[in-house]
Structure 1
Amino acid sequence: MTHSATPPERPFRQKLRILLLWALATAFIILNLVSRPVRPGYSLIESILEQTGTFIIIVGVIGRIWSILYVGGRKNSELVTQGPYSITRNPLYFFSLLAIFGVGLVFGSILVAASFTILAYFIFLYTANREAAYLSHVFGKDFDDYARCTPLFWPDFSGFQWGPERNFSPRALRVTVRDALFIVALVPVSEFFEYLHSQGYLLAAVTLP
């Protein structure tokens, strides 16, 4: 694998990633204000999208919690390669992406789900590559060997290993639960705006497929 010619001396700062995700969340709320799905909320397709989206959100939240139970507060200080980290080097980002896709489906638009998921993917991909460069600098051959057999983002379940039990960090768990609740909170927000649209309190400028 190749990294930048000048390896980073410090872990990648997450501020830019967090700001960009906040911007996506803000854009999603604005989208709910000015648009609504082309299908009515009582249609069969709408119901299927909502139920599927809810299931995917649950999988994403559980996956994030599973990941943090393995990495705890040891991110960037210990090379964790077991559990979810044996199928992808960035399970937290992968499961977050699932949850974001689920929120888009709950909104009722495949276009919205795909668009926000793609945008979030590029944010996570940029961050993951920056973090990989730092971890390669810190752990050297151990990380490079791990990276050769474990994908950066999309999971490969063929190499799954449970690994030994680990002591998790309560603080790290609180943070990931907080982040997960933030994503989940977008669902009732979307439902509330849909109700306002259906009652005529809000007029949609556009309808989305």
Structure 2
Amino acid sequence: MPENFINCINNFANNKKVRKTLLKLRAPIGLLLFVLVLTQLHRAWFWPGLAVSILGEALQVWCMSTIKTHKKLTVTGPYMVVRNPMYIGRFFLIFGILMMTGSLLSLAVFTIAYYFYMVNRVRREEKLLAEMFGEDYAEYCRDVHPYLPGFKRFDAAQIVSFNKESMAQNHVVVNFLVTVICYLVLFIFTYIQPV
């Protein structure tokens, strides 16, 4: 029974029509969820949540500043420690914002939903990367875990890896500014509400 349920979730997460619809609706859905979070903020959880979220945003910015989309297999910066650091960063960015609500249920639901999103998305991406980069990618996969940090390929000279072209291509500045604006809105809504 649980296996059938998990298969249904995975099939839903990999359904092209569902993915296409969610991609089109991601901005309004995100805005709606953000407004919902604004109505549930708790002062006691604001600063711990902000710290976790900033950690996630920093990792995401580092990833977007390192990755060279479709040109070359990226194995420097955070990608030398873990194969999917951007998804990990995004998880903590959103998890931290949800922490600000103080709702364990929200955190649990998000964690479960994000797990299925991430695992299925990574499977699809890794299939494409294997086709694009062949043995180089297979070797990288043998050395670097998809989610847990490891140091088999660690090289201190390549850990700090920021590429101006990648930053521009991946809209790092826009992403960062939108995130900072969201943090400011969260701060204002947290501290203008009665205790």
Establish whether TM, by shorter chain, passes 0.5.
Answer: yes
Amino acid aligned to 2:50: T
The offset of 1:133, in angstroms, is: 0.4
Amino acid aligned to 2:51: F
Report which structure shows greater RCO (CA 8 Å, sep ≥6). Answer: 1
Q: 1:89 to 1:15 in 2, by over 3 A?
A: farther
**2 CA distance for matches of 1:145 and 1:171?**
29
User: Aligned match of 1:31 in 27, 36, 39?
Assistant: 36
Name the counterpart of 2:106: 112
TM-score normalised over the length of structure 2: 0.70
Q: 1:176 to 1:118 in 2, by over 3 A?
A: farther
User: Aligned match of 2:87 in 93, 97, 106?
Assistant: 93
Q: 1:89 to 1:111 in 2, by over 3 A?
A: same
User: Aligned match of 2:118 in 120, 124, 143?
Assistant: 124
Q: 1:29 to 1:167 in 2, by over 3 A?
A: closer
Indicate the percent of aligned positions where both proteins have the same amino acid. Answer: 25
Q: 1:16 to 1:94 in 2, by over 3 A?
A: farther
Provide Cα deviations, 1:2-27, integer angstroms capped at 9, x if missing partner. xxxxxxxxxxxx96674465465244
Greater fraction helix:
2
Query: Which residues of structure 2 form unaligned runs of 5+?
Result: 1-18
Name the counterpart of 1:158: 151
RMSD: 3.1
Amino acid aligned to 2:34: I
**1 CA distance for matches of 2:48 and 2:139?**
37
Provide Cα deviations, 1:88-130, integer angstroms capped at 9, x if missing partner. 2121121011100000012232322332243233323322211
Name the counterpart of 1:171: 168
For residues 12-91 of structure 1, the aligned pairs below 5 Å read 18-19=23-24, 21-22=26-27, 24-29=29-34, 31-32=36-37, 36=40, 41=42, 46-47=43-44, 49-71=45-67, 74-91=68-85
**2 CA distance for matches of 1:188 and 1:104?**
15
TM-score normalised over the length of structure 1: 0.66
